[in-house]
């Protein structure tokens, strides 16, 4: 049976004045997770889990999800689905790595995306950025694909070696680090993405959606 957590019992409504950013943090890693913005939400977020439910807590606009170790590295489990309210801008943080992630963030105002502990399989769809938005990964990457809006510049920085690295029409087969690729208009753009990978990287592609 799927467990659904929506916290509608906790009131959420935009308040006058500056909007307080939201933060989604996976405290002990994440696996088999979908993240997406949902304009129909009246609460800050909803979370649906197949199988055993991790600990989920909310403090203000911070949402913390904590899996016990056996749930991440035991038998395969159903996919988790996290929906975020686009009324607030979001920062997403994953600690201790992510084996399998799909994140459609096109409905959100994304402040930043960070993974500590590495990525083994992930695909991200990014929104229009405001300023320079950092996608930061430490611990190495294998199989990461990022889609950004057309005409938005991007830069990739990798501190270790890389193989099969692509940014739009730029492609590198295998090369030692450090490595830097950027769009021709990156330096002069006000709104742009920067992908910073600390560690080695394999099969990384950053492209533009039509």
Residue range 148-192, pLDDT digits in tens = 999 999 999 998 889 999 999 998 888 887 889 999 999 999 999
Name the nearest CA neighbour of 28 among 58, 59, 56, 65.
65
The dihedral region occupied by 85, where left means phi > 0, alpha psi between -120 and 50, and beta the remainder, is: beta
Query: What does pTM read for this prediction?
Result: 0.89
Residues 108 and 8 in one domain: yes
**Confidence (pLDDT) at 10:** 40
pLDDT in tens, 72-83: 544 445 689 999
Q: Which residue, 115, 138, 153, sits at the end of a domain?
A: 115
What whole-number distance in Å separates Cα of residue 195 and Cα of residue 155?
Answer: 6
Together in a domain, 105 and 134? no
In the chain, how many domains are there? 2
Strands (E), 13-89: 22-26, 33-37, 45-50, 55-59, 62-66, 80-84
Q: How far apart are CA 164 and CA 36, in angstroms?
A: 28
- pLDDT tens-place string over residues 77-128: 568 999 999 999 999 999 999 989 999 999 999 999 999 999 999 999 999 9
Co-location of 64 and 90 in the same domain: yes
Cβ pair 170, 141 in contact under 8 A: no
Domain enclosing residue 101, as ranges:
1-115
Same-domain status, 72 and 164? no
- Distance from C-alpha of 80 to C-alpha of 202, rounded to nearest angstrom: 26
Sheet holding 22-26: strands in order across? 55-59, 62-66, 22-26, 90-95, 110-116, 132-138, 192-198, 154-158, 179-182
State the pLDDT confidence band at 194, using cuts at 50, 70 and 90.
very high
Based on the domain organization, do 96 and 177 belong to the same domain? no
Same domain as 200, residue 105 = no
Give residue 8's pLDDT.
Answer: 40
- Reported as a single tens digit per residue, the pLDDT across 37-61 is 999 999 999 999 887 789 999 999 9
Instruction: Name the domain boundary from 88, 115, 142.
Output: 115
Which of 115, 144, 179 is a domain's end point?
A: 115
């Amino acid at each position: 049976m799927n467990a659904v957590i929506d916290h509608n019992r906790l009131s959420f409504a935009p308040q006058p004045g500056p909007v307080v950013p939201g933060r989604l943090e996976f405290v002990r890693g994440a696996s088999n997770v979908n993240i997406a913005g949902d304009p129909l939400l009246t609460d800050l977020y909803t979370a649906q889990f197949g199988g055993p439910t991790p600990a989920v807590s909310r403090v203000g606009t911070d949402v913390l999800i904590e899996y016990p170790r056996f749930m991440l590295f035991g038998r395969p489990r159903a996919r988790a689905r996290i929906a975020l309210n686009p009324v607030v801008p979001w920062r997403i943080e994953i600690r201790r790595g992510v084996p399998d992630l799909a994140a459609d963030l096109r409905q959100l105002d994304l402040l930043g995306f960070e993974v500590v502990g590495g990525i083994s399989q992930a695909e991200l769809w990014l929104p229009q950025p405001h300023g320079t938005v950092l996608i930061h990964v430490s611990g190495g990457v294998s199989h990461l694909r990022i889609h950004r809006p057309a005409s938005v510049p991007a830069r990739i920085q990798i501190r270790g070696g890389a193989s099969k690295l692509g940014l739009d029409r730029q492609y590198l087969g295998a090369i030692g680090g450090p490595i830097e690729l950027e769009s021709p208009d990156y330096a002069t753009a006000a709104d742009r993405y920067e992908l910073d990978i600390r560690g080695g990287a394999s099969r990384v592609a950053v492209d533009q959606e039509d």
